[in-house]
Amino acid sequence: MPAHIVPPSDALPRSHYFITLSRGSGMRTVAVRAPLVQLAMLVVPLVLLAGLCSTLYLALHDDLMAGLMRRESAMQYAYEDRIEALRQDLERQAERSRADASTIDARVHDLFAREATLEGRAAAVASLAAEVAPVAGRPALPAAITGRASATPAAALGYAAPDKPRPVVEPATRGPAGAAGLEDHASLLDAPTVPLGDRLGAVASSLERVGRGQVAALTRIGAAAHARAARIRDLIETAGLSPERYLPKAAGAGLGGPFVPLPEGPDGGFDRAVAELRGTVAAAGQLEAALPRLPLAAPLLGRMDVTSPFGARTDPFLGRPALHTGVDLREGYGTDIRATGAGRVSFAGTAGGYGNMVEVDHGNGLATRYAHMGSVSVAEGQAVARGAVLGFVGATGRATGPHLHYEVRIDGEPVDPTRFLASADRLASLGAP
C-alpha cells in the first residue's frame, strides 16, 4: 500500500471535511468542519462576483458616465424645447387675445358710430314727421317708427360712449337695459353664457333693424307729404290758380357756401332722400298754410241759387251787353254774408254801383268782393277768418232786388268765382280750416 494513502480509520470524525496536502513524499491531512466549508462556498462566489463587478465598473465607468450625461442632456434639451413651445404658444395666445380685443374695440366703435348715425337720422325723421303731421292732418309719428331709441343700444353691452372711459366687459356681464329694437334679442343679451361677439352681433342686428325702420318711416312720410301736396295742388289748380304763387321764392342774396357732395352709399342715399323730402315737406307746408287764405268756401250758407253768372250778359238797367264781373246769388234780406277765406278787410263801405261793399285781401294778389250788402259788420284793416260774418244781404247800389254780388279778383282782374265755389266740397274733404 502506498505510503500517502491513509487507510480508513474508525477514529476519524464523520462530520468533517478532510483536505490532504502532499509534497514530494510527505503528505498532510487537515480536517475542516462542515460549517466552515459551507461558509467558504458561500463567501467565495460573492467575493468573486464583487471582484467581477468592480472590474466591470472600472472598465465601463466612462461609458456609463457618458451615457448618463447624454441622457441628461437629451432630457434637458427636451424640457427646454417644451418650455420654448409653451412660451411661443403663450405668445400666440396673447397676440390672438390682443387681436380679438382690437377687433372687439373696432366693432364697438363701429356700433357707436352707427348708433350716432341712427340718432341723427332719428332726429331728422322725427323733425320731418312733426312737419308732415299738421300737413297730413295726423299726429306725429311715434318714436318706434322714427327709429329714436329710448336708450343707448351699445349700453346694453355695458360700453360707455367713445369719448368716455370704457370699462372692461366680460362675456358674462351686461349693462343697463337695451334700447328700442332689441326686443327680439332680449333672451340672447340676457343669457350669461353668450359670448361677447354674439352679443355684439345681436346689437348690430338691432341697429340694422332700427335703420330699416327709419327708411320705412321716411318712405311713409314722403308718401304722405307727396299725396297731401298733390291734393292741395290739384285743389288750387282746379280753382284756376297756380300753386307756385304760394310757394316760397328763392332769395336773390344771402345764399352760398362751398359745395360738399353727400357721401355715396346707404348714408348718402338716406341724406339725399331727407334733403329731397324736406323740399317736398316745405312746399306742402307752404301750400297747406295758404289753404285758409284761399277763397274756397261759400259766402252763403245752404244751397246757392245763381241768378246771373260771370261773364257777358245784358245789363238789367240799360238793356245793353255788359261784362258781369262776378256771380249774383239769390238770398233774402238780412242773411249772413261770410268770408270765403281768411284775410284782411281792405275796403268796407259804399262803392258806387256796388252799394255797400266789403273787399277782403287774401294775399298773393288774391281778393274777394261782397256787394249790394244791406249793412256791413266789419271795418277796414280788420283781420277775418274763413266763415266770419262780413255783413248782411241787401239790395244797395245797382240792384233790382236782394242778392249777393260775389267777385274773385287775381292781381286786380276779375275771374269766374264758380271754380272757387265748386272747390268748397273738396276743401272740406281735405279737412282744412
Region of residue 352 (phi > 0: left; psi between -120 and 50: alpha; otherwise: beta): left
Give CA–CA dist 74/1, Å, rounded: 76
**398 and 289 fall within a common domain:** no
In this structure, are 332 and 355 located in the same domain?
Answer: yes
Q: Which domain holds residue 327?
A: 305-430
Asked if residue 282 and residue 208 are part of one domain, the reply reads yes
Pair 284, 318 in one domain: no
Whether residues 377 and 242 fall in one domain: no
CA distance 114 to 8: 126
* C-alpha dist (Å) from residue 348 to 144, 148, 292, 295, 411: 53, 53, 21, 18, 19
Q: Taking CA 121 as the corner, what is the angle to CA 120 and CA 124, rounded to the nearest 5 degrees?
A: 90
Compute how many other C-beta atoms are within 10 angstroms of the C-beta atom of residue 90.
10
**Is position 69 within any domain?**
no
Contact 246, 290 (CB under 8 A): yes
- Spatial contact of 129 and 217, defined as CB atoms under 8 Å apart: yes
In this structure, is residue 166 part of a structural domain?
yes
The rounded Cα 431 to chain-centroid distance in angstroms is 34
CATH number at residue 337: 2.70.70.10
Contact 153, 179 (CB under 8 A): yes
Q: How far apart are CA 155 and CA 177, in angstroms?
A: 8
What are the average pLDDT values for consecutive 10-residue runs of the chain, which has 433 residues?
49 67 79 79 86 78 77 84 84 78 77 79 80 55 42 42 40 37 47 66 79 82 82 83 75 54 61 81 81 89 87 82 90 93 94 94 93 95 94 92 93 90 71 58
Q: What is the DSSP letter of 416?
A: -
In which element (H, E) is residue 151 found? none
Estimate the crossing angle of helix 34-136 against helix 266-290, to 10 degrees: 20
Q: Are strands 16-23 and 26-33 parallel, antiparallel or unpaired?
A: antiparallel
Amino acid letter, 422: A
Residues 278 and 164 in one domain: yes
d(CA 327, CA 313): 11
| Same-domain check for residues 171 and 194 | yes
Task: Examine the domain organization and report whether 180 and 267 are in the same domain.
Answer: yes
Q: 324 and 242 share a domain?
A: no
271 and 419 share a domain?
no
Q: Is residue 106 part of a domain?
A: no
Q: Residue 114: inside a domain, yes or no?
A: no
DSSP 3-state of 302: coil
Q: How many domains are there within the chain?
A: 2
Residue 266 has what pLDDT?
Answer: 55
